[in-house]
Amino acid sequence: MQLHPIAHIDLAALQHNLACVKQVAPDSRIMSVVKANAYGHGLVDVARALSASDAFTVARLSEGLLLREAGIEHAIVVLEGVNTVSDLQLAAENDISLVFTTLLQIELVLSTTLSKALLFCWVMAETGMHRLGIPAEKLDQAIQSLKRAENIADSIGLMSHFANADLLRDERNQHQLDQIMQCAKQHRLSVSMANSAAILSFPESHADWIRPGIMLYGSSPFKMQSASSLNLKPVMKLTSTLIAIQNLKTGDEVGYGGDWVAEHDTRVGIVNIGYGDGYSRQLSNTGSVKIHNKIAAVLGRVSMDMIAIDLSHILHAKEGDDVVLWGCEQLPIEDVANKANTISYELLCQISERVRREYHG
Ligand SMILES: *Cc1c(COP(=O)(O)O)cnc(C)c1O
């Protein structure tokens, strides 16, 4: 009996989703977002499968270096930029492009001499997110100095990030886009603005480079629209194994704190997955799983390594049977995320090292 959960990664689905991106935004170049271990799917295997991308985008330099170590030759863009001279040097040596996100980062690149110049870089403009980005009143000067910077061989592009792209026709999106487009026109810069939600719902924002993340992994960025209605295919199916069966009597309690009490005699299954694998503890007493093509409720608290499920209506279930946690038709990850009071992004990223990734297709 296999005693560990598996994240089955469907590389053909990943490629299908990339093809969808191209179909929706045929005139833009694609920097596929593979930060956070490719949203939990495995950085290097995902990047290899997405070789039809024009570039890869990561959050941190360390992720870009892992791609280079694995022999990935695409352009790589580090969204957070870097904050030390040694990291600037590492980025330059490894042909990794940076996004300059603060005045401090710009001062750093202007005041150092690198042994090799950086390739095409980006400047992040603050347009409404108030996270990282150069504020409007400092932007012209920042762009002019980066354009002249000796440590940057090629030109620079203009980037910003929508704060509300998942809200359809929200006027704040248009406002952010207007600011970027005006600045890009003035300085003749190429633009990158759109994440998955904007790619799917706001074609005016596509511009030169798009940055799809979640849609590549086959999950919907919208609360009210399913992935299948967007023609996206889920890439990860998370499964584990039924490892024990308990026959509870009326009044018996399940798990820590006895948060679930049997109201009648109940057949309870123990499944080998818990929050130590990234199965959210928020799913205590509210989640559900699939076994023998039927849905079974999660009973009591999710523990670190196990959950309990209700097998009252699945009498032929036995030890060793497969259990699906998400990624099938009856259990889309968006629904699981809703129940856990979070978004699919978080569930995917939380899948821990302990879960074996198996690649198919
Ligand atoms: C994570 C990220 C993306 C990708 O967003 P999705 O919603 O997953 O498509 C794009 N741009 C930036 C700046 C990001 O941080």
Ligand 1 centre and the CA of 35: distance in Å?
Answer: 9
CB 133 within 8 A of CB 125: yes
Q: Is 159 in the pocket of ligand 1 (CB under 6 A)?
A: no
Classified as helix, coil or strand, 158 is: strand
User: Could you tell me the sign of the dihedral formed by the alpha carbons of 239, 244, 250, 256, in that order?
Assistant: negative
Q: What is the DSSP string of 91-108?
A: HHHTTEEEEE-SHHHHHH
Angle at 72 between CA 68 and CA 76, to 5 degrees: 70
Are the CB atoms for 272 and 241 separated by under 8 Å?
yes
| 78 neighbors 98 (Cβ within 8 angstroms) | yes
Pocket-testing residue among 35, 158, 201, 211, ligand 1, by greatest number of atoms within 8 A of Cβ: 211
Cβ(50) to ligand 1 under 6 A? no
Q: Is the CB of 42 under 6 A from ligand 1?
A: no
CA distance 44 to 58: 12
Distance (angstroms) between ligand 1 centre and the Cα of 24 equals 17
Among 131, 142, 148, smallest CA distance to 183 is for 142
Q: Which atom of ligand 1 is nearest to the CA of 199?
A: 9
List residues with catalytic annotation.
35, 256
pLDDT value at residue 3: 81
Cα(322)–Cα(137) distance, rounded to whole angstroms?
58
Looking at ligand 1, which atom is closest to the CA of residue 212? 9
Per-residue pLDDT of the chain (361 residues; tens, 9 = 90+): 778 999 999 999 999 999 999 999 999 999 999 999 999 999 999 999 999 999 999 999 999 999 999 999 999 999 999 999 999 999 999 999 999 999 999 999 999 999 999 999 999 999 999 999 999 999 999 999 999 999 999 999 999 999 999 999 899 999 999 999 999 999 999 999 999 999 999 999 999 999 999 999 999 999 999 999 999 999 999 999 999 999 999 999 999 999 999 999 999 999 999 999 999 999 999 999 999 999 999 999 999 999 999 999 999 999 999 999 999 999 999 999 999 999 999 999 999 999 999 999 9
pLDDT of residue 1: 79
- Closest atom of ligand 1 to 35 CA is 1
Q: What is the pTM of this model?
A: 0.96
How much is the CA Rg of the chain, to the nearest whole Å? 23
Substitution site in 24, 41, 57 for ligand 1 pocket (most atoms within 8 Å of beta carbon):
57
Q: Choose among 298, 325, 330: nearest CA to 311.
A: 298
Q: Whose structure tokens read 């929706």?
A: 24
Q: Would you state the structure tokens that stand for residue 284, as one six-digit string?
A: 């205590």
Q: Ligand 1 within 6 A of 101 CB?
A: no
CATH number of 236-360: 2.40.37.10
Q: Is 196 in the pocket of ligand 1 (CB under 6 A)?
A: yes
Among 95, 201, 99, 212, smallest CA distance to 153 is for 95
pLDDT at residue 2, as a whole number: 77
| 33 CA closest ligand 1 atom index | 4
Judge if the beta carbon of residue 133 lies within 6 A of ligand 1: no
CB 161 less than 6 A from any atom of ligand 1: yes
| Residue nearest ligand 1's atom 1 by CA | 213
Output the pLDDT for position 138: 97
Measured CA to CA in angstroms, residue 350 lies from 103, 314, 337, 347 at distances of 32, 29, 12, 5
Atom of ligand 1 nearest to the CA of 165: 7
Angstrom distance (rounded) from CA 119 to CA 5:
41
Strand 356-360 relative to strand 6-10, pairing: parallel
CB 29 within 8 A of CB 55: yes
CATH number, span 11-219:
3.20.20.10
Beta-bridge mates of residue 31: 55
Domain boundaries, the chain: 11-219, 236-360
Q: How far is the CA of 169 from the centre of ligand 1 (A)?
A: 19
